[in-house]
Structure 1
């Protein structure tokens, strides 16, 4: 009966349960990894140890055809609202928004006034609500979690930050803006991001001791976003694992994914984007640095899983575990950016005291990233990676397990990140609404997954179209087919058509072979873009170049000062050396 809740609610026969009757409804936990690739979790074929995540997958549903936005803030907006990102107000990263889009309804950089979060609906229905970790949906009072349904919150409103200290990881941010319950906050001395996020989530849950109300906990980890950092005891486990390089890892991940049946037999491995380096062309020093960086990346993911295990253990101690539903996913594909390629960035690292020493990489005061080649391996078997609409950028791991969730095993049906919010409402017996807090709100565009998980009904039909767009990178799914466009520098801006049922690696373009279908998909995408409020990107726009441009506009004087300081120090060192030579 529970699995039919969504259909029955649509008739208006079930209303939100009164607060005094809610003690039997499940707790809801959403665990969001940052930049984890499709094959990064152990349950998806990775060499990385994630036993706690894998155990949840074994008792629930593991999705092999789930998709998110190619970038983080739009995914987070869709996750919380069940709305297409532009309709939710977050169609692009605030940091990469071109000036022409500033203030447009789909590009506010915060949640729009005419959407409501799943947290707000759950709180109205009697749930206790809390969020810890990365927010990235605005830091004005009206944009922070207290204004969007969260009783308790300790969040970072930036695209990322250091995992050991309260400091920025990019020069576009003056600091790391953490907020507790809407007010600026200070991190503890013993801070490590994954540990702290779990500690605060536990604290917030424990505040409800004796309360009958269930809880909604949203844990938004910084793992494994740049800078990748992890305790030494986790890093040591992966020393030497990646010494054969990214091509070998990419092939091994692909073989494991195929062996587990996560993609169809006969799938071809998606191509690496043009212009990436071959492992054998690197110097021994470069190989050592990248292999160690990937080891830190793996260690950071395992550390996240370890602390998830602590969280699960705490729920078991409280007797809450069996009545809790877990949603575990990543916000997009793996991070390809290599910040040191940006002019002046290495000098900024030096100025800030960051080290890239191989021996200590991952520890406090160090700065690591895996780069586009290892990102391509982590996205295996998909093409591209984060930022792009290829499967490597948007097909991500997704697991649902716990109270009321059938042990469905692998789920191969297409699903989208907007489907999570309506699924949570379905589980909690809470209706979607057309008005909230005295204002009209748009209906959710996602669909509950419960009929699919229960076997009552398919999720999307062959004519249902689901579109997405971020910074010009775009896709539309309909039935087995996908229309996709990837922009420069790694894409060419052209549209391609693929059959996802047989070619999830996106290796065989069908546009010329199926021209009528191609044009129909193009028309469907244009309807999606019009209805969602998608704006065309200005000529010459590149997403990451926009960050560099804004940095230079804001901090050009700083970069010049650093370079002049380096020149002065080099000259001083040279004068000292000449004096030593003359004296000898």
Structure 2
């Protein structure tokens, strides 16, 4: 072949070579779906009786994780999710609203993302992605801390631990209002607001508005489902009428058996115990059973409603030809919520004062206030022990599903993974670089080899991963877990478990394997020192601290007015003593 003919051939093939290279460089869209307080066995794919067909479909075509862990508290989890860095190094070592007063302002307890961490959104933005967020942020309230300053092009977010799902209304008396922001500016809510629907509506609007620029997108949807107050449309609630009439013990057992059948836990595993001191189902009156069952029905309905609206997003992406090039990450921030706010003195009066109802007929609908309590939370965490706020598997082990583009491994993996791993995984899928320079380096590990079927694990048997929040702490090493749960439900003692055989944490091995126990204790202490863990004070109680902090903040905020009032009253009293007798004599004369 002469040179002329070679040149002609090259000219003919060049467009195809360019197209092939471009095809290889196509970067995926990434949808990160974060559910709030969803337990390990809450999705249908994990053995639940709750209908989550859209999430289940993603699980069926992707990788389902049975050994994924988060922090037991929402804000620390979200900090790690966004940065790939330990929550203390990211500035949020505890829930800001309940951190001990003496911890506030310390490096690991800023209550906002630290200045030296970079979010995955910022890195994707720098790499040419359009970045969107809707839902609960809870990583900082000022203009430098909101998503608009942390890498998101468009955002509509709540910066609080939670809020009403039907209207702009706070859910706890520790807040004066529910603070919503769009693109960093305070905003209101539409009259037809329902959180799960609205978040998906906004997400679709953002994606649609950015289509013209041709960039891939990263969309983070942080649902309020199923955080307190548990609320859902009536048509979803009615589907679960009578489903929970047998109570939490039957539900825990059913979920436990389903997890075994799906291969999520060992066939000979034991069901984790419920914490001591909880209510017995059979000790309730029939009226109480009906109310508790209805509350759990609302919880199930809220989760199904979330799944329904996720289905709307999937349908939109399919209709617009974007689905095939989209990665879906579906997960929860921590285990199920055990709180019973009505147990706090004065809370029922506050509910009445702000217009909330606890009427069983309308429970879950607009104006109502529902929650499932620690007993049904224990069932949602099955087969694990404990629940949200605690370091037992019920508080840390949560669902994770990766599906879509880049995910070629179908089925379940029991490989250990941690919430810090999500950010580096996303960057790997996007072909984006991690932050350099003085930024805190990501300590999470990319799960890409795992979901591509190139590796069976990303952590070696001797690798250790620590976690601490509000005194509750754990360290994972291979199949083993060192754990401490604080009072009132825990005893502040350290235990050692083999999670591969005992995910319910029923058989303490600390005495049987003292060398391993000592090694892991030393590794935990090194971890705590490295990230700046501060031990909680004696008698610390997370829920009680909420009230203490609120009173402290109110006094600090309003002390000038209180001082002025005291001075005025003092002046009046002094004047009364000084001029009162003289005035009285004049009046008598």
For the criterion TM > 0.5, the same-fold answer is yes
**Whole-Å Cα distance in 2 between the matches of residues 85 and 555 of structure 1?**
27
Q: Give the CA deviation at 1:307.
A: 0.2
**Whole-Å Cα distance in 2 between the matches of residues 281 and 210 of structure 1?**
61
**Whole-Å Cα distance in 1 between the matches of residues 550 and 287 of structure 2?**
30
**Whole-Å Cα distance in 2 between the matches of residues 417 and 409 of structure 1?**
20
Q: Give the CA deviation at 1:21.
A: 9.3
**Whole-Å Cα distance in 2 between the matches of residues 449 and 230 of structure 1?**
34
CA deviation profile, 1:257-312 (whole Å, cap 9, x unmatched): 11111001100000000000110111122111110000000000000000000011
Question: Aligned in 2, Cα 1:364/1:90: closer, same or farther, shift over 3 Å?
Answer: same
Find out whether 1:54 has 2:56 as its counterpart.
Answer: yes
Check whether the contact 1:132–1:220 (CA below 8 A) recurs between aligned residues. yes
Question: Aligned in 2, Cα 1:112/1:553: closer, same or farther, shift over 3 Å?
Answer: closer
Report matched runs for 1:174-185 at 5 Å: 174-185=176-187
CA deviation profile, 1:416-452 (whole Å, cap 9, x unmatched): 00000000000011111213xxxx2011010000112
Indicate the SS of the match to 2:220: strand
Check whether the contact 1:33–1:330 (CA below 8 A) recurs between aligned residues. yes
Check whether the contact 2:61–2:404 (CA below 8 A) recurs between aligned residues. yes
- What is the aligned partner in structure 1 of residue 446 from structure 2? 448
Report matched runs for 1:518-537 at 5 Å: 518-537=517-536
Q: Give the CA deviation at 1:24.
A: 1.5
Q: Which of these residues, 65, 74, 79, is aligned with residue 67 of structure 2?
A: 65
Indicate the SS of the match to 1:30: strand
**Whole-Å Cα distance in 1 between the matches of residues 185 and 169 of structure 2?**
17
Q: Which of these residues, 313, 317, 320, is aligned with residue 318 of structure 1?
A: 320
Check whether the contact 1:342–1:548 (CA below 8 A) recurs between aligned residues. no
Report matched runs for 1:103-252 at 5 Å: 103-252=105-254
- What is the aligned partner in structure 1 of residue 548 from structure 2? 549
Check whether the contact 2:408–2:453 (CA below 8 A) recurs between aligned residues. no
- What is the aligned partner in structure 2 of residue 415 from structure 1? 417
**Whole-Å Cα distance in 1 between the matches of residues 145 and 24 of structure 2?**
28
**Whole-Å Cα distance in 2 between the matches of residues 239 and 118 of structure 1?**
42
**Whole-Å Cα distance in 2 between the matches of residues 455 and 361 of structure 1?**
46
Q: Give the CA deviation at 1:550.
A: 3.0
CA deviation profile, 1:97-146 (whole Å, cap 9, x unmatched): 11110111111111111110110000001000000000001110110001
**Whole-Å Cα distance in 2 between the matches of residues 327 and 140 of structure 1?**
28
Indicate the SS of the match to 1:484: strand
Indicate the SS of the match to 1:289: helix
CA RMSD of aligned residues (A): 1.3
Indicate the SS of the match to 2:361: coil
Indicate the SS of the match to 1:431: coil
Indicate the SS of the match to 2:468: strand
Indicate the SS of the match to 1:254: helix
Q: What TM-score, normalized to structure 1?
A: 0.90
CA deviation profile, 1:183-207 (whole Å, cap 9, x unmatched): 0010000000000000111111011
Indicate the SS of the match to 1:132: strand
Check whether the contact 1:23–1:213 (CA below 8 A) recurs between aligned residues. no
Check whether the contact 2:27–2:216 (CA below 8 A) recurs between aligned residues. yes
CA deviation profile, 1:430-476 (whole Å, cap 9, x unmatched): 111213xxxx2011010000112233333100110000000000000
**Whole-Å Cα distance in 1 between the matches of residues 319 and 89 of structure 2?**
41
Q: Once structures 1 and 2 are overlaid, which stretch shifts more, 547-556 or 358-367? A: 547-556
**Whole-Å Cα distance in 1 between the matches of residues 62 and 497 of structure 2?**
30
Indicate the SS of the match to 1:210: helix
Check whether the contact 2:54–2:308 (CA below 8 A) recurs between aligned residues. yes
Q: Give the CA deviation at 1:318.
A: 1.0
**Whole-Å Cα distance in 2 between the matches of residues 297 and 150 of structure 1?**
31
Q: Give the CA deviation at 1:549.
A: 2.4
**Whole-Å Cα distance in 2 between the matches of residues 298 and 153 of structure 1?**
28
Indicate the SS of the match to 1:131: strand
- What is the aligned partner in structure 2 of residue 295 from structure 1? 297
Indicate the SS of the match to 2:547: helix
- What is the aligned partner in structure 2 of residue 426 from structure 1? 428
CA deviation profile, 1:301-342 (whole Å, cap 9, x unmatched): 000000000011111111000000000000000000000000
- What is the aligned partner in structure 2 of residue 100 from structure 1? 102
Report matched runs for 1:565-576 at 5 Å: none
Q: Give the CA deviation at 1:552.
A: 5.0
Check whether the contact 2:101–2:549 (CA below 8 A) recurs between aligned residues. no
Gaps of 5+ in 1: 1-19, 557-584
Indicate the SS of the match to 1:467: strand
Check whether the contact 1:22–1:214 (CA below 8 A) recurs between aligned residues. no
**Whole-Å Cα distance in 2 between the matches of residues 486 and 271 of structure 1?**
14
Q: What TM-score, normalized to structure 2?
A: 0.89
**Whole-Å Cα distance in 2 between the matches of residues 432 and 196 of structure 1?**
32
**Whole-Å Cα distance in 1 between the matches of residues 134 and 233 of structure 2?**
21
Gaps of 5+ in 2: 1-21, 556-589
Check whether the contact 1:26–1:323 (CA below 8 A) recurs between aligned residues. yes
**Whole-Å Cα distance in 2 between the matches of residues 126 and 425 of structure 1?**
12
Indicate the SS of the match to 1:359: helix
Paired positions, count? 533
Indicate the SS of the match to 1:332: coil
Indicate the SS of the match to 2:282: helix
Check whether the contact 1:226–1:368 (CA below 8 A) recurs between aligned residues. yes
Check whether the contact 1:336–1:373 (CA below 8 A) recurs between aligned residues. yes
Find out whether 1:42 has 2:44 as its counterpart.
Answer: yes
CA deviation profile, 1:205-239 (whole Å, cap 9, x unmatched): 01112222100000000000000000000000001
- What is the aligned partner in structure 2 of residue 17 from structure 1? none
Indicate the SS of the match to 2:71: coil
